[in-house]
């Protein structure tokens, strides 16, 4: 095996373990430090300058000092509950695992899709249990999108089943239709939540407008009767 020549899996025109390859490997290792250290840096800053003085020790110090770096990071924690100030970091780690970490296992293999489905399902359960978003609709929308991602990856696992295991062509047609219906229904569930919330907002606004107009008419009629 020592005399064998190794080639890059994604491009067989590139040889492995030569000088150029070693340079790219070194650059890859150096670049991998950033997605690890950056979330840790954010957690440390927010814990020391935001959570501990402004939330944990709020009773002892009602008017803590506010730091500009924390105000600049407001977009990271302002949409979450105070007890889940770190949840955006959890979200970043989830995306990093699904897009980069599991890709090392081989994106074309069953292991990648299975592990991605398991990670998505675990995160959906954790999100439902922790309820980091205080707004009910945003929490439901995020949970629905996580469930949709889990279903999509689960269907991907099903599609990895060899078609040779299905004996009859009619069963293949049923299987194809079932998978299509499942995918369309799951993804339209998220869109349906957004459309439903918009319709409810429009109905509420319409109801408030009609109620205000009705109240204004009654008030004018009452004043007229009172003056008579």
**Which tens digit of pLDDT belongs to each residue from 174-220?**
556 666 666 666 666 666 666 776 777 777 777 676 666 655 555 55
Instruction: Name the one residue in this structure whose structure tokens are 């009609």.
Output: 210
* Torsions phi, psi for 143 (to 5 deg): -65, -40
What does the pLDDT read at residue 170?
Answer: 47
Q: What is the mean pLDDT of residues 22-28?
A: 84
7 DSSP β-pair partners: 15
pLDDT digits (tens, 9 = 90+) for 30-69: 888 888 888 899 999 999 988 888 888 877 777 878 888 8
Statement: the pTM of the whole predicted model exceeds 0.95 = no
Confidence of residue 2 (pLDDT cuts 50, 70, 90): low
Q: What is the mean pLDDT of residues 114-132?
A: 85
Query: Which residues contact residue 98 at a Cβ distance below 8 angstroms, ignoring those fewer than 6 apart?
Result: 116, 119, 120
DSSP string, 130-191: H----SHHHHHHHHHHHHHHHHHHHHHHHHTS-GGG---HHHHHHHHHHHHHHHHHHHHHHH
pLDDT digits (tens, 9 = 90+) for 70-103: 888 888 888 899 889 999 999 888 888 877 766 6
Distance CA 85, CA 107 (A): 33
pLDDT digits (tens, 9 = 90+) for 135-181: 888 888 888 888 888 877 777 776 666 655 555 444 555 556 666 66
Distance CA 43, CA 46 (A): 5
What does the pLDDT read at residue 44?
Answer: 92
């Amino acid at each position: 095996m020592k005399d064998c020549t190794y080639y890059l899996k994604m491009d067989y025109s590139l040889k492995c373990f030569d000088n150029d390859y070693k340079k790219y490997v070194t650059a890859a290792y150096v670049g991998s430090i950033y997605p690890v250290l950056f979330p840790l840096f954010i957690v440390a800053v927010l814990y020391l300058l935001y959570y501990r003085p402004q939330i944990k020790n709020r009773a002892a110090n009602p008017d803590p000092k506010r730091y500009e770096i924390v105000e600049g990071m407001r977009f990271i924690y302002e949409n979450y509950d105070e007890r889940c100030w770190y949840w955006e970091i959890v979200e970043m780690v989830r995306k990093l695992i699904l897009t980069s970490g599991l890709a090392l296992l081989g994106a074309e293999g069953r292991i990648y899709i299975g592990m991605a489905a398991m990670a998505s399902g675990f995160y959906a359960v954790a999100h439902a249990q922790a309820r980091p978003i205080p707004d009910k609709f945003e929490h439901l929308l995020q949970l629905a999108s996580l469930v949709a991602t889990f279903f999509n990856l689960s269907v991907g696992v099903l599609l990895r089943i060899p078609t040779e295991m299905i004996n009859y062509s009619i069963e293949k047609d049923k299987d194809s239709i079932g998978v299509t219906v499942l995918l369309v229904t799951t993804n339209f569930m998220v869109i349906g939540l957004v459309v439903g919330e918009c319709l409810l907002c429009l109905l509420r606004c319409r109801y408030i407008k009609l109620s205000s107009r009705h109240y204004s008419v009654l008030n004018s009629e009452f004043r007229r009767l009172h003056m008579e």
